[in-house]
Structure 1
Amino acid sequence: MKKALLGATLGALALSLTALPSPAKAADIGACLVTKTDINPFFVKMKEGASAKAEELGIDLSTFAGKVDGDHETQVQAIESCIASGAKGILITASDTKAIVPVVKKARDAGLLVIALDTPLEPIDAADATFATDNFKAGELIGKWAAAKLGDKAADAKIAMLDLTPSAPSVDVLRDQGFMKGFGIDIKDPNKIGDEDDDRVVGHDVTNGNEEGGREAMENLMQRDSEINVVYTINEPAAAGAYEALKAFGMQDGVLIVSVDGGCPGVENVKDGVIGATSQQYPLLMAAKGIEAIKAWADSGEKPQNTDGLNFYDTGVNLVTDQPVDGVPSIDVAEGMDRCWG
């Protein structure tokens, strides 16, 4: 029997503002990692990557996380704490990519290197650098795959869009709009969610990036249209929740779910048929590169460089599916499991 893996069982309890020192050796170089939550396995893996690299380089790492996805105030307090501690740099996945900018500026003015991980700030140059998946491409890959998988039926698709939070941070918008483009839906303002006029889109709802939110959003959109046959999800915990909602109505076998993250639980859900395809990103690499950049900044004042032709450092993305389609490059589940969140 297909069963969605519950990401919440893999995470730790959400942290408040309390900083948790890593096992790193005592050092003159301090660094901070500030994530959206400490529940989502994606951020758990990011913390692992930062902690391992900090220990390797002898950096004193403190970690902070919001209580829930969207907890902006805790992130502000975390940055204030990092400034006060004399840290050399901050790695952050911002919950509110616009509202966080003033305190980020305060940190930079105090001499800290600030690197956005996964989620670009708005504007992107509000941080010294961004290490991220090409989130638009990640969305575009699953959109192209879903359209190709449906074939002629894509013209009559009924699509549910399960997004992140009401504040619509950049990662939310980029993945949503990338999916639209990939599926062949005319996007209007690429910086705005929900302004398309394609009748195939049943609607958008927010999930807060977790299973409960995914379940509730899916139920809400099914009340609008019971013939939904494609579900875009912002991440794999939301996808797991959407699947459970569909399963409760006996609809799970007739609906194509796509997602982004490529974590080990999510890839396992691709294997089990819960998710048709997911775009895999590499948070461990993002975090490790971020710690290396803080070390270089502390040692020499050198800032990281962007990937050629982009305004951020691209840490890569791959579509993971066991149902490849022509024209959309992908890796299979076996390779996805080998690489999940590496």
Structure 2
Amino acid sequence: MAHHHTVRPRQGTTLLLVGTLVGTLVLGAAACGGTQDSSGASGRRKVTIGLVTKTETNPFFVTMRKAAEAAAKKNHAGLIALSGRFDGDNEGQVAAVESLIARHVQGILITPSNTTGILGAIAEARRQGILVVALDTATDPANAADATYATDNFKAGRLQGAYVRAVLGNRAPKLFMLDGTEGSTVSQFRHDGFLGGFGIKNDSPAIRGQAGTNGDRNRAQTATENLLQRTTDVNSLYAINEPVANGAYTALAERGLSRRVTIGAIDGGCDGVRDVRAGKYAATVMQFPVRMADQGVAAVTGFVRNGKKPSGFTDTGTTLITDKPVRGLASENSAWGLRHCW
């Protein structure tokens, strides 16, 4: 059951305002960019956009924030960037949306940590005439937001699963699965997609161990160490993202097992692509946070200035990156990946 929040004043939350730079002590947020009044030289209507990411430290969301800042500047709009404290911090994201409503933004771009827990805050924003666009992660239901610009996470998981299974060839799969945050739509879609591409179900004996990681490198390393205490008979590993793949690789390498285990990942960050080139992971599935931010900012500015309202789901793309291609799966090599990574 979804738990809906109503927008309310919060006690104990301190807002720090200095010119166009905005931060909250609770959310650890930053903002960039000014606003252009309609009476200015450009003749454009003033637009202020809020961006709420899952965290402010994950490289994916750092890239998204920087891209949104650049897109806002290009479109003569202001941007206020806020975030949760960690992946899964629904309360922090609710507080961020409430703060943006109070600051009278015209649009909110959000990567929901909890796709149902955030619905009340989104509904209140839309009730007040604010356009709400989901980035990276769709709300549940998807039409709770006006539009979504995101990776097809099921497809990304399927690409990873199909590739890892193909690399194993005739060997019987012995798999570790490192998921994200329990209840996360992204985590579930990638998990289910991987199983579909790999060709097994959740109850398969091929799965030798499974753990949640909240998408965090250190948690992933600890989780892998714990799984290896139960069994070292493993030859493949699913990682929800590249920080998790890195943590898992470190744990496997410390046990001398990294060469035996085929690791797949999803993200497409430059560090992850370099890890593919170095042979730490067999492949990663690249997604495109810059496209998400660019299209989200354009959607808000277009709505405010031209009345064009976006709707539905827009797939911002996925590309398999590997230096060891397999028949039947389209891919690009790490050199291509390094030219397009973030």
TM-score normalised by the chain length of structure 1: 0.88
Aligned residue in 2 for 1:315: 316
CA–CA distance in structure 1, aligned partners of residues 25 and 155 of structure 2 = 31
Aligned residue in 1 for 2:178: 162
Give secondary structure in 1 for the equivalent of 2:170.
helix
Contact 1:15–1:37, Cα closer than 8 Å, also in 2: no
Give secondary structure in 2 for the equivalent of 1:260.
strand
Aligned residue in 1 for 2:82: 64
* 1:100-111 superposed matches below 5 A: 100-111=118-129
Aligned residue in 1 for 2:48: 30
Count of residue pairs the alignment pairs up: 311
Aligned residue in 2 for 1:272: 278
- 2:325 partner amino acid: P
Contact 1:262–1:336, Cα closer than 8 Å, also in 2: yes
* 1:89-108 superposed matches below 5 A: 89-108=107-126
Structure 1 runs not aligned, ≥5 long: 1-13, 187-195, 307-311
Aligned residue in 2 for 1:189: none
CA–CA distance in structure 2, aligned partners of residues 184 and 104 of structure 1 = 37
Q: 1:129 to 1:82 in 2, by over 3 A?
A: same
Give the drift of 1:294: 0.4
- Sequence identity, in percent? 45
CA–CA distance in structure 1, aligned partners of residues 249 and 191 of structure 2 = 19
Matched, 1:286 2:263: no
* 1:1-342 superposed matches below 5 A: 16-17=26-27, 19-27=29-37, 28-153=46-171, 156-166=172-182, 168-186=183-201, 196-306=202-312, 312-341=313-342
- 2:140 partner amino acid: E
CA–CA distance in structure 1, aligned partners of residues 56 and 270 of structure 2 = 17
CA radius of gyration, larger in: 2
- 1:269 partner amino acid: D
CA–CA distance in structure 2, aligned partners of residues 297 and 204 of structure 1 = 44
Q: Please give the root-mean-square deviation of Cα atoms over the aligned residues, in Å.
A: 1.4
CA–CA distance in structure 2, aligned partners of residues 146 and 44 of structure 1 = 28
Q: 1:91 to 1:15 in 2, by over 3 A?
A: farther
- 1:164 partner amino acid: G
Give the drift of 1:223: 2.5
CA–CA distance in structure 1, aligned partners of residues 30 and 159 of structure 2 = 37
Greater relative contact order structure (CA < 8 Å, 6+ sep) = 1
Q: Cα deviations across residues 215-268 of structure 1 (Å, max 9, x unaligned)?
A: 012112222321111110110011110011111111111111101001101001
Give secondary structure in 2 for the equivalent of 1:53.
helix
Give the drift of 1:15: 7.4
Give the drift of 1:297: 1.2
- 1:88 partner amino acid: Q
CA–CA distance in structure 2, aligned partners of residues 15 and 144 of structure 1 = 44
Contact 2:322–2:333, Cα closer than 8 Å, also in 1: yes
Contact 1:70–1:95, Cα closer than 8 Å, also in 2: yes
Give the drift of 1:21: 2.5
- 1:229 partner amino acid: N
Contact 1:49–1:287, Cα closer than 8 Å, also in 2: yes
- 2:258 partner amino acid: Q
Contact 1:15–1:64, Cα closer than 8 Å, also in 2: no
Q: Cα deviations across residues 129-168 of structure 1 (Å, max 9, x unaligned)?
A: 1101111111101111111111111xx21111101112x2
- 1:282 partner amino acid: F
Contact 1:24–1:51, Cα closer than 8 Å, also in 2: no
Contact 1:116–1:130, Cα closer than 8 Å, also in 2: yes
Contact 2:31–2:82, Cα closer than 8 Å, also in 1: no
CA–CA distance in structure 1, aligned partners of residues 332 and 179 of structure 2 = 25
- 1:43 partner amino acid: F
CA–CA distance in structure 2, aligned partners of residues 119 and 65 of structure 1 = 14
- 1:172 partner amino acid: S
CA–CA distance in structure 2, aligned partners of residues 88 and 145 of structure 1 = 43
Structure 2 runs not aligned, ≥5 long: 1-23, 38-45
Which one is further off, 48-57 or 215-224?
215-224
Contact 2:35–2:47, Cα closer than 8 Å, also in 1: no
- 1:39 partner amino acid: T
Contact 1:16–1:65, Cα closer than 8 Å, also in 2: no
